[in-house]
Amino acid sequence: MAVTLEQVEKLREKSGASYEACKDALDRTGGDLLEALIFLERTGRSRTAPRGGTFTTERGGGVDEAAKLVLETQSKAGKKGKKSSGVHDGDWREWLRELWAAGLNLLRHSTVNQFEVWRHDRLMTSIPILILILLVVVAFWISVPLLIIGLFAGCRYRFVGPDLGKESINDVMDNVSATVDDMVGQVKKEFHESKSAQEQKADRAEESARRARESVEKAQRSAEKAARKAQEAAERATWKAQEAAEKAARKAQEVGRKARETAGQATQKAQDTAGKAARKAEDFSKKMDGMVDSICGHVDNLVSKIDDAFSDKDK
């Protein structure tokens, strides 16, 4: 079960404990106010717990029983104070005891009740009333102006506790805060509405200057854009020229390579043809040498035969 701010406020009014202690107790007891009050009394964090009293954890009247328990304790203390106030003036000891009891009672009430500072629905700080009184008495010219400045800064002040945590007191504080907020809003409204003509002229002049600066900046951006386009066009032209030159160089290299290959092939063919012709001439020369040798051999044989013939004739 989610714990609400209203439950925390009610428990603080009945127990006088701090905001954190009350929220922790409600979280532990699942939002049960009576169980939370009993838990605070058991752990010693309840500032209104009766001394020497007894209580029960049985569920009877819920939150009403817890409130009745606190109210009965306060009623007994009040009756005791009334009895003490009716003593004879001559009994100074009784008067001192009464004064001491009243001082203790005032001290207890000033510590049980808390002064809270809220801003934008958020608890900023919480201090006992005793501390607030001491601050006002000791540092009046510092604490009071700070409280007033806090009102103009949007702070809200509340009293919580069994004595001061009443709706009537907090309603007065809320009305004061609302009045201050209305005053601040009215002052702001009048301040905004009371702008002089000179300020308006200054605003218009500033607006004109701003527009002129925007025009100059726009012209500068246009010039920069045109310069970038021209630079990009020049870079593209240079790149295309370089690409064309490289392409022409590659074509020239290719033509030279093909020419060198063609010349090499022609040279090789000529060399092959010359080699073939030389081999044929050599073969022909060899054949001719063979034929000459053959003819010479036949001639030699014929001469030998003729010589033989003449020799025989002579004989």
Three-state SS sequence of 14-47: HHCCCHHHHHHHHHHCCCCHHHHHHHHHHCCCCC
What single letter denotes the amino acid at residue 220? Q
> pLDDT of 85-116, one tens digit each?
444 444 677 788 778 877 777 777 777 778 88
Domain positions in the chain are 1-87, 113-194, 196-300
Helix axes 63-85, 92-112, angle to 10 degrees: 150
C-alpha 312/C-alpha 55 separation (Å) is 188
Look up residue 303 and give its two tokens.
């001469």
Asked if residue 157 lies in contact with residue 147, where contact means CB atoms within 8 angstroms, the answer is yes
C-alpha 106/C-alpha 163 separation (Å) is 11
Q: Residues with Cβ < 8 Å from 207, sequence gap 6 or more?
A: none
Rg (CA), the chain: 63
* Predicted TM-score (pTM) of this structure: 0.33
* Cα–Cα nearest to 27, from 48, 59, 1: 1
What angle is formed at CA 295 by the lines to CA 291 and CA 299, rounded to 5 degrees?
170
Give CATH for domain 1-87. 1.10.8
Give me the pLDDT at residue 114, please: 81
Confidence of residue 81 (pLDDT cuts 50, 70, 90): very low
User: Which of 2-16, 52-66, 171-185, 229-243 has the least mean pLDDT?
Assistant: 52-66
DSSP-derived secondary structure for 61-72: STHHHHHHHHHH
> pLDDT of 22-76, one tens digit each?
888 888 888 888 888 888 888 877 776 544 444 444 444 444 444 444 444 445 4
Look up residue 306 and give its two tokens.
């003729």
